[in-house]
Protein backbone atom coordinates (compact mmCIF):
# COMPACT_ATOMS: atom_id res chain seq x y z
CA UNK A 1 0.00 0.00 0.00
CA UNK A 2 2.85 2.36 0.88
CA UNK A 3 4.53 1.62 -2.45
CA UNK A 4 1.33 2.35 -4.37
CA UNK A 5 0.91 5.62 -2.49
CA UNK A 6 4.53 6.60 -3.19
CA UNK A 7 4.12 5.82 -6.90
CA UNK A 8 0.92 7.87 -7.07
CA UNK A 9 2.67 10.78 -5.39
CA UNK A 10 5.64 10.52 -7.76
CA UNK A 11 3.38 10.40 -10.82
CA UNK A 12 1.45 13.42 -9.60
CA UNK A 13 4.63 15.42 -8.97
CA UNK A 14 5.91 14.58 -12.44
CA UNK A 15 2.63 15.65 -14.05
CA UNK A 16 2.75 18.94 -12.15
CA UNK A 17 6.42 19.47 -13.10
CA UNK A 18 5.60 18.78 -16.76
CA UNK A 19 2.71 21.23 -16.65
CA UNK A 20 4.92 23.86 -15.02
CA UNK A 21 7.72 23.41 -17.60
CA UNK A 22 5.29 23.44 -20.51
CA UNK A 23 3.68 26.60 -19.21
CA UNK A 24 7.09 28.23 -18.75
CA UNK A 25 8.18 27.34 -22.30
CA UNK A 26 4.90 28.58 -23.75
CA UNK A 27 5.07 31.76 -21.76
CA UNK A 28 8.72 32.31 -22.68
CA UNK A 29 8.03 31.82 -26.39
CA UNK A 30 5.18 34.30 -26.30
CA UNK A 31 7.26 36.93 -24.53
CA UNK A 32 10.65 36.55 -26.22
CA UNK A 33 10.45 40.01 -27.80
CA UNK A 34 9.27 41.52 -24.52
CA UNK A 35 12.27 40.09 -22.65
CA UNK A 36 14.69 41.94 -24.92
CA UNK A 37 13.25 45.29 -23.77
CA UNK A 38 13.36 44.68 -20.04
CA UNK A 39 16.18 44.43 -17.53
CA UNK A 40 14.24 42.47 -14.92
CA UNK A 41 12.24 39.26 -15.12
CA UNK A 42 10.25 39.97 -11.96
CA UNK A 43 7.27 41.58 -13.72
CA UNK A 44 7.10 38.66 -16.15
CA UNK A 45 6.98 36.20 -13.27
CA UNK A 46 4.10 37.99 -11.59
CA UNK A 47 2.25 38.17 -14.94
CA UNK A 48 2.59 34.41 -15.19
CA UNK A 49 0.67 33.81 -11.95
CA UNK A 50 -2.83 32.36 -11.97
CA UNK A 51 -5.53 33.89 -9.76
CA UNK A 52 -7.66 31.47 -7.74
CA UNK A 53 -10.68 32.41 -5.63
CA UNK A 54 -11.46 30.06 -2.74
CA UNK A 55 -14.83 30.22 -1.03
CA UNK A 56 -14.32 29.10 2.55
CA UNK A 57 -16.83 27.12 4.61
CA UNK A 58 -18.21 30.30 6.12
CA UNK A 59 -18.70 31.88 2.68
CA UNK A 60 -15.61 34.10 2.86
CA UNK A 61 -13.96 34.68 -0.53
CA UNK A 62 -10.17 34.42 -0.45
CA UNK A 63 -8.24 35.44 -3.55
CA UNK A 64 -4.69 34.17 -4.01
CA UNK A 65 -2.24 33.55 -6.84
CA UNK A 66 -0.25 30.47 -7.77
CA UNK A 67 2.19 29.43 -10.46
CA UNK A 68 1.23 27.21 -13.38
CA UNK A 69 1.94 23.63 -12.32
CA UNK A 70 1.14 24.25 -8.65
CA UNK A 71 -1.63 22.08 -7.28
CA UNK A 72 -4.50 23.70 -5.41
CA UNK A 73 -3.12 21.98 -2.30
CA UNK A 74 0.26 23.67 -2.95
CA UNK A 75 -1.51 27.04 -3.03
CA UNK A 76 -3.41 26.40 0.21
CA UNK A 77 -0.11 25.48 1.90
CA UNK A 78 1.99 28.25 0.31
CA UNK A 79 -0.59 30.92 1.16
CA UNK A 80 -1.13 29.47 4.65
CA UNK A 81 -4.90 29.33 4.12
CA UNK A 82 -6.78 28.16 7.20
CA UNK A 83 -9.12 25.46 5.87
CA UNK A 84 -9.52 23.17 8.84
CA UNK A 85 -8.24 19.65 8.10
CA UNK A 86 -7.46 20.41 4.44
CA UNK A 87 -4.76 18.29 2.81
CA UNK A 88 -4.25 15.87 5.69
CA UNK A 89 -2.35 13.28 3.62
CA UNK A 90 -0.21 15.93 1.88
CA UNK A 91 -1.38 14.98 -1.59
CA UNK A 92 -0.75 11.23 -1.44
CA UNK A 93 -4.37 10.33 -2.30
CA UNK A 94 -4.92 8.75 1.11
CA UNK A 95 -7.69 11.04 2.39
CA UNK A 96 -10.36 13.22 0.82
CA UNK A 97 -9.81 16.30 2.95
CA UNK A 98 -8.78 18.37 -0.09
CA UNK A 99 -12.26 17.97 -1.60
CA UNK A 100 -13.26 21.08 -3.55
CA UNK A 101 -16.35 21.94 -5.57
CA UNK A 102 -16.19 23.86 -8.84
CA UNK A 103 -18.53 25.58 -11.22
CA UNK A 104 -19.37 23.35 -14.16
CA UNK A 105 -17.43 25.37 -16.74
CA UNK A 106 -14.30 25.23 -14.58
CA UNK A 107 -14.81 21.54 -13.80
CA UNK A 108 -14.79 20.70 -17.53
CA UNK A 109 -11.41 22.41 -17.82
CA UNK A 110 -9.68 20.58 -14.96
CA UNK A 111 -8.41 17.59 -16.89
CA UNK A 112 -9.12 13.90 -16.46
CA UNK A 113 -9.91 12.19 -13.15
CA UNK A 114 -7.86 9.09 -12.32
CA UNK A 115 -9.45 5.96 -10.87
CA UNK A 116 -7.49 6.54 -7.65
CA UNK A 117 -8.90 10.05 -7.29
CA UNK A 118 -12.41 8.73 -7.99
CA UNK A 119 -11.99 6.13 -5.25
CA UNK A 120 -11.07 8.82 -2.74
CA UNK A 121 -13.77 11.20 -3.96
CA UNK A 122 -16.37 8.52 -3.28
CA UNK A 123 -15.46 8.84 0.41
CA UNK A 124 -15.84 12.63 0.55
CA UNK A 125 -18.74 14.26 2.37
CA UNK A 126 -21.01 16.43 0.24
CA UNK A 127 -19.84 14.95 -3.06
CA UNK A 128 -21.23 16.75 -6.13
CA UNK A 129 -21.03 16.19 -9.89
CA UNK A 130 -18.34 18.88 -10.02
CA UNK A 131 -16.20 17.72 -7.08
CA UNK A 132 -12.46 17.10 -7.36
CA UNK A 133 -9.53 16.66 -5.01
CA UNK A 134 -7.45 19.83 -4.77
CA UNK A 135 -4.17 17.94 -4.56
CA UNK A 136 -4.82 16.51 -8.04
CA UNK A 137 -5.60 19.82 -9.79
CA UNK A 138 -2.59 21.52 -11.37
CA UNK A 139 -2.92 25.19 -12.27
CA UNK A 140 -2.78 26.28 -15.88
CA UNK A 141 -3.26 29.75 -17.35
CA UNK A 142 -6.63 28.61 -18.71
CA UNK A 143 -7.85 28.34 -15.11
CA UNK A 144 -7.26 32.05 -14.45
CA UNK A 145 -9.93 33.41 -12.13
CA UNK A 146 -11.30 29.99 -11.17
CA UNK A 147 -13.51 29.61 -8.11
CA UNK A 148 -13.02 26.64 -5.76
CA UNK A 149 -15.54 26.05 -2.97
CA UNK A 150 -14.47 24.30 0.22
CA UNK A 151 -17.31 21.96 1.27
CA UNK A 152 -19.01 22.52 4.61
CA UNK A 153 -17.73 19.29 6.13
CA UNK A 154 -14.65 17.19 5.63
CA UNK A 155 -14.02 13.45 5.78
CA UNK A 156 -10.63 11.91 6.47
CA UNK A 157 -10.88 8.19 5.70
CA UNK A 158 -7.65 7.55 7.62
CA UNK A 159 -9.29 8.68 10.86
CA UNK A 160 -12.51 6.77 10.13
CA UNK A 161 -10.59 3.52 9.69
CA UNK A 162 -9.02 3.61 13.16
CA UNK A 163 -12.18 4.88 14.82
CA UNK A 164 -10.63 8.10 16.05
CA UNK A 165 -13.26 10.28 14.41
CB 141 within 8 A of CB 68: yes
CB of 137 to ligand FES, least distance (A): 10
95 binds ligand FES (CB under 6 A): yes
CB-based burial label for 80 (10 Å; 0-12, 13-18, 19+): exposed
93 binds ligand FES (CB under 6 A): yes
**Which one of residues 66, 68, 87, 151 is an interface residue with ligand FES (CB under 6 A)?**
87
**C-beta neighbour count of 27 within 10 angstroms:** 15
**Which one of residues 16, 89, 139, 143 is an interface residue with ligand FES (CB under 6 A)?**
89
**Which one of residues 16, 101, 135, 155 is an interface residue with ligand FES (CB under 6 A)?**
135
* Residue 107 CA: distances (Å) to CA of 29, 72, 100, 113: 28, 13, 10, 11
DSSP β-bridge partners for residue 51: 65
Q: What angle do CA 76, 21, 118 make, to 5 degrees?
A: 50
> Which residue, judged by CB position, is nearest to ligand FES in the bound state?
135
**Which one of residues 50, 75, 94, 101 is an interface residue with ligand FES (CB under 6 A)?**
94
**Which one of residues 73, 100, 143, 146 is an interface residue with ligand FES (CB under 6 A)?**
73
Under the rule (CB under 6 A), what is the footprint of ligand FES? 73, 87-89, 91, 93-98, 120, 133, 135
Amino acid sequence: MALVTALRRLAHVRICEYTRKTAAVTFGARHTSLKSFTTSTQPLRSDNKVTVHFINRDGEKITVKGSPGDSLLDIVINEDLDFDGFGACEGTLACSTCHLIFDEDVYKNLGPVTDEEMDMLDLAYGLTDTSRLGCQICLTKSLEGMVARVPESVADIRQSKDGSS
